[in-house]
Amino acid sequence: MKSAVIVFPASNCSRDAQVALEKITGRSVDMVWHEETTLPKVDFVVVPGGFSYGDYLRSGAIAARSPIVQDLVRKANNGLPVAGFCNGFQVLTESGLLPGALMRNKGLRFVCRPQKLNIVNKDTMFTAAYTHQDTITVPIAHFDGNYYADSTTLSKLKKNNQIVFTYEGNPNGSANDIAGITNEAGNVLGMMPHPERAIDPVHGGTDGLKLFRSVLESLR
Amino acid sequence: MKAIIQIGLKTGVLDPQGRTIARSLDHLGFKDVLAARQGKTIELDLKGDDKDAAQIAVKDMCEKLLANTVIEDYSIEIVD
């Protein structure tokens, strides 16, 4: 599996995503600068966490209009697997690849801690390897993680099994405890928690590894 | 010519910052405040003097970048 990570000004989890992908695939990872207009030929793209463009205007808003994301949107709409973590999730909702929006946390505090998640849908290319686990613990670290969508969108997400992860103990006010969703086709995942920061015992846990393994195995 | 754009959360979307502001005003003794909503203003300096064309162009800017219409409403005022 060839993979790429998009790098924006003030992305700060691009290196973590790179390390996770290298560990799982055993191959070097293309780091793609936001001003590029075309993605390299890869099988999987990660939109990383961070504070792209200083969160100016709205978190993820400016990144979602950058040249590389226009190509990402075109290719994701044609089936390219894409995952956005934290700021990456915000970029994916701002770009229109995923429904809804991420608002300021309900408690008006930056939350940064290990977070237990329920795996609501294991029948996705991002969660298939979690066969024997119903919950995982991965870090969260965000100010704008309060998932919002109107009631029609929320029922549609539930009906189509697009809700992949929910929080155990809602840390930010997200509608229906939503922590991560896919698009309708199932090839685009967005989640506020950081699986790429839970891939080595020194991180305090390795529950994030199987997410990357799921993608790898689904593409074999 | 200037465009003054007011952007705020839609009615029905919970605004925790607005709520906190209202509570704080209440603590300060301003008992007439029923609710507060927080938003932002963006001012654009525009070339030309066709206000109708500017209104259309700025609406397009709001839809494409300045507002996230999933959660936000906006209003546009074009002034000299």
Query: Residue B53's CB: how many other CB atoms inside 10 A?
Result: 12
The predicted pLDDT at position A9 comes to 95
Whether the Cβ atoms of residue A132 and residue A216 lie closer than 8 Å to each other: no
pLDDT tens, residue order, chain A (220 aa): 999 999 999 999 999 999 999 999 999 999 999 999 999 999 999 999 999 999 999 999 999 999 999 999 999 999 999 999 999 999 999 999 999 999 999 999 999 999 999 999 999 999 999 999 999 999 999 999 999 999 999 999 999 999 999 999 999 999 999 999 999 999 999 999 999 999 999 999 999 999 999 999 999 8
How far B76 CA lies from chain A's nearest CA (Å)?
A: 17
How far B47 CA lies from chain A's nearest CA (Å)?
A: 23
The predicted pLDDT at position A69 comes to 97
Cross-chain CB nearest to B70 (options A57, A101, A107) = A101
Contact: B16, A108; criterion CB under 8 Å: yes
**CA–CA separation, A135 vs A142, rounded Å?**
21
The predicted pLDDT at position B5 comes to 98
Query: Residue B47's CB: how many other CB atoms inside 10 A?
Result: 6
Question: Assign residue A67 a region: left if phi > 0, alpha if psi is -120 to 50, beta otherwise?
Answer: alpha
Is A213 at the interface with chain B, CB within 8 A? no
What pLDDT band is residue B12 in, cutting at 50, 70 and 90? confident
- Domains of chain B in start order, with CATH, are 2-79 (3.30.1280.10)
**Entry pTM:** 0.94
**CA–CA separation, B22 vs A141, rounded Å?**
28
**CA–CA separation, B42 vs B73, rounded Å?**
13
Kindly calculate the radius of gyration of chain B based on its CA atoms and give it in whole angstroms.
16
pLDDT reading at B51 higher than 90: yes
β-pair partners for A37:
none
Dihedral pair phi/psi, residue A175, rounded to 5°? -60, 135
The predicted pLDDT at position A130 comes to 97
- Domains of chain A in start order, with CATH, are 3-218 (3.40.50.880)
Report the share of chain B in percent with pLDDT over 90: 91
Complex prediction ipTM: 0.85
Catalytic residue positions of A, numbered: 86, 194, 196
Dihedral pair phi/psi, residue A55, rounded to 5°? 60, 20
> Most B CBs within 10 Å: which of A90, A93, A104, as the mutation test of the B interface?
A104
pLDDT reading at B14 higher than 90: no
Whether the Cβ atoms of residue A59 and residue A24 lie closer than 8 Å to each other: no
- Chain A positions in Cβ-Cβ contact with residue B65 (cut-off 8 Å): 57, 61, 65
Mean pLDDT for B16-20 is 90
**CA–CA separation, B28 vs B31, rounded Å?**
8
Kindly calculate the radius of gyration of chain A based on its CA atoms and give it in whole angstroms.
15
How far B43 CA lies from chain A's nearest CA (Å)?
A: 13
**CA–CA separation, A50 vs A52, rounded Å?**
6
Is B71 at the interface with chain A, CB within 8 A? yes
